[in-house]
Structure 1
Amino acid sequence: MTRTSLRTKLAAVAATGVMALGTGVLAASPTQAATAAADCPYTYFCAYEGPNYTGRSIKMWQCSDVRWIPWAGTNGSWINNQTPGTRAVFSLSNGSSASTYGAYYAVSERIDWRSVYSIDPC
C-alpha cells in the first residue's frame, strides 16, 4: 500500500481548485514555538486557529475522538506531539482523507482550514 503525506494530499486538493493553500512561508519565533510545544502535551495532537500556533486550540489524544474543525476560512497550524508512528487523520472537505507524518513530533506552522472537515488524532 502506498502512503501519501498530508502535504501531498493537500497540494493535490489545491491543484483541483477545491482549496487555496496560503502562499509564503511563516516562521514561528523561538518563543512562539516553545510556548506551543509546552501547550501541546506529549501524546496529544493540537490544532490551532491561527498560524504559528496562535489563537484558540483544540487538543486531542483519544483515538477515534473525531473533532470537527470550526475555523473554516482561516489559516491555522497544528502540532502532532503523539507517540512515535501515531498519525492524525484529516477528513478533507472534498471527501478524501490525509494523514500526518508518522514522526512522534511533526508540525505545520500554516494550514488552510477551509479544506479540513474534521480530525481523528490517531
Structure 2
Amino acid sequence: MVRRSLRTKLAALGATGVMALGTGVLAASPAEAAVACPYEYFCAYPQPGYGGTPIMVRNCNDVRYVPWTGGNGSWINNQTPGTRARFVLTGERPDAYTYGAYSAVAGGVDWNSVLYIDPC
C-alpha cells in the first residue's frame, strides 16, 4: 500500500530536506514489522530493506545520534498509532517528521542529512 508521498506531506508543513526521510512510505504486514521492529519502537536501518544493525528507540525524548553516512537507508515507525518520529537535520534546515505509526520507508533515506532521531 502506498500512501501520499512524504515530499507532499512535508511540503505542506513547510519543511525541507525531504530526501532525508525517503522517497515513499510502504506498509509492511504486522508479521514483518514484528520481526524487523518490535511494537512501540522506532527503528532506523543503515541499509535499504531494513538491513544492517538498527538504531531502535522506544522512549520519547531518548534522542539518538545517527552515526551512518550514506544515502540509502530505511526506517520503520512501529510505535503506538499516530506517533511520529522527528529527524533533526544538518545545517539550518527545520526538523522533519515521519508519518504517524504504523509507517515505513524501505529505501532512499539519506542519513547524511540526519544528525539525531527523536522517536516522538
Identical counterparts, % of pairs: 54
Matched, 1:92 2:84: no
Which residue of 1 is the match for residue 112 of structure 2? 114
Matched, 1:13 2:17: yes
TM value normalised by structure 1:
0.72
TM value normalised by structure 2:
0.73
- The amino acid across from 2:6 in the alignment is R
CA RMSD in angstroms, aligned pairs only: 3.2
Secondary structure at the residue paired with 1:38?
helix
Q: Which runs of 5+ in 2 are unaligned?
A: none
Q: Which runs of 5+ in 1 are unaligned?
A: none
Q: How far 1:21 sits from its partner (Å)?
A: 8.8
- Mapped to 2, the partners of 1:53 and 1:37 lie a distance apart of 12
Secondary structure at the residue paired with 2:80?
coil
Tell me: CA distance 1:93–1:6, structure 2 relative to 1, closer, same or farther (3 Å).
farther
Secondary structure at the residue paired with 1:65?
coil
Which residue of 2 is the match for residue 101 of structure 1? 99
| Structure 1 segment 13-32 matched on structure 2, within 5 A | 13=17
Given candidates 51, 55, 60, the residue that maps to 1:54 is 51
- Mapped to 2, the partners of 1:22 and 1:63 lie a distance apart of 22
- Mapped to 2, the partners of 1:85 and 1:20 lie a distance apart of 20
Q: From the two aligned structures, give the one with the greater strand fraction.
A: 1
Secondary structure at the residue paired with 2:54?
strand
Return structure 1 stretches of 4+ with deviation > 2 angstroms. Answer: 5-14, 19-23
- The amino acid across from 1:70 in the alignment is P
